[in-house]
Amino acid sequence: MMHTTRVSTAYALLAAALLTAFAAPVATAAPAPHASHASARQIPFTAAEVTAQQDGSYRVTWKAPGVRQVAVRANGRTVATGGATGTVTVRGLPAADRQWFDLVPERGRHLRLADRLIRLDGTANFRDAGGYRTTDGRWVKMGVVYRSDSLDKLTDADLAKLGRLGISVAYDLRSTSERAAAPDRLPTGTRYVVANVIGDDSPVFTMPTTAAEAEQLMIEGERAMVSSEPAGAAYSTVFSGLVRDADGALYHCTAGKDRTGWASAALLTTLGVPRETVLADYLASNDYRAEANAAALAAMPPAQAAVYKPLLDVRAEYLNSGFAEVQEEYGSFTAYEKRALGLDARELRSLRAELLVG
């Protein structure tokens, strides 16, 4: 079993590294078999995504096996059409805090999507936690739960935008020292909840001296987020809050990739999203943080940058070690939900009813 000391060491070290350093296409689930006589209540899309382009246009892609026609609607009008598989570029839409698209099939339920990234001046990794298909053909709603990196650099314009998007509660996964060094800025009226994943009993530590040591530190830290007492208490706070009211909820840490990454991995797994999609969402932080990470590494001597890089990355082996810890410590993810996250069957049903459509 991982102990509090190990998670504190790993993530206190990472937090220090991030504070020093800083003074994506996400795969969709594989198509599932479908019946040509699908119920009108079902969502026929097996894959779909909206991506905002640099020139202000939007790329909309989808797969809806067996559907002859799909209408793409935005702002109350049809802006494109296609068949069972489509890729369209939509131009000329007015500026908006967030542009939503409705994918309307000839039969079955429509699917409402937006670009996953929320573009703010003060963050690099603020994004929607939803927009993914589950193994049973439902979809995680977008516009309900969000994940982010540190919020201390939000501008007044950012705060106004988040207020309009309806951010109602922010779960801060950071340590006391991180919160003191970079306190959150939040829209007026947003409830603030501390959910300290690493705790505050960090021992004295030293930086790793090799990339291999840094990578191992990240692996141990990921495993400890599953089984340490502070992590269990923190994630239980987040999930119990989501059960009570998920609408407009946000959870975040410093880089929005490790503690936040496990929160999203656990949430998506609980909702029934396939493991390969969960991993793709986790790895997307590498894309969203690419510019910031590159700038941080470029400011370091090459030898130091080589050691820091594993601390700034997210890697499949990191997340996989977390799931391995679930298996070793709890025996199954279902047991982890109950024993670590504190979710009973009724609460799980409530969470899925709130966050899934289809």
Tell me the catalytic residues: 253
Geometric angle at alpha carbon 265, from 260 and 269, rounded to 5°? 150
Map tokens 């494109």 to a residue. 80
CA distance linking residue 53 with residue 73, whole number of Å:
18
Q: Which amino acid is at 108?
A: G
Q: Which amino acid is at 243?
A: V
CA distance linking residue 19 with residue 21, whole number of Å:
6
Helix (H), strand (E) at residue 72: strand 70-74
Q: Both tokens of residue 107?
A: 């039969």
